[in-house]
Amino acid sequence: DAKTTQPNSMESNEEEPVHLPCNHSTISGTDYIHWYRQLPSQGPEYVIHGLTSNVNNRMASLAIAEDRKSSTLILHRATLRDAAVYYCILRDQGGGSNYKLTFGKGTLLTVNP
């Protein structure tokens, strides 16, 4: 799987928007961009995924650059419960290993009250 680069940590204030960046300059045409998050003492949790177009769901929005070499996870109003490690993951939907997730170190998001 292609590699992703994320900041080690970010800080936000409660009820403010948060933009979590991810660089994936070697992304291939069949790579989907997935985001998971891991709250303290829990297993990872799916957040959102996309291929080319921006995506929205109840948890977050995913903005994908036109050249697909970067993406941004947007939390519209951060809450204390959003404090977690956020992982940006590329999954090749066309390859033979498209079943497993390859995690990096992720971004530790701290939300201040």
Asked whether position 53 contacts other proteins by CB under 8 A, the answer is no
Task: Provide the strand spans (E) within the chain.
Answer: 9-13, 18-23, 31-38, 45-50, 55-56, 61-64, 70-75, 84-92, 107-112
Task: Select from 53, 66, 99, 113 the one that contacts other proteins (CB under 8 A).
Answer: 99
Residue whose CB is less far from other proteins, 8 or 113: 8
What's the closest the beta carbon of residue 42 comes to other proteins, in angstroms?
6
Cβ closest to other proteins, residue 41 vs residue 53: 41
Residues 4-43, interacting with other proteins (CB under 8 A): 32, 34, 41-43
User: For residue 3, what are the contacts with CB-CB under 8 A and spacing of at least 6?
Assistant: 24, 26, 90, 104
- Contact residues: other proteins, CB under 8 A: 32, 34, 41-46, 49, 85, 87, 91, 97, 99-106
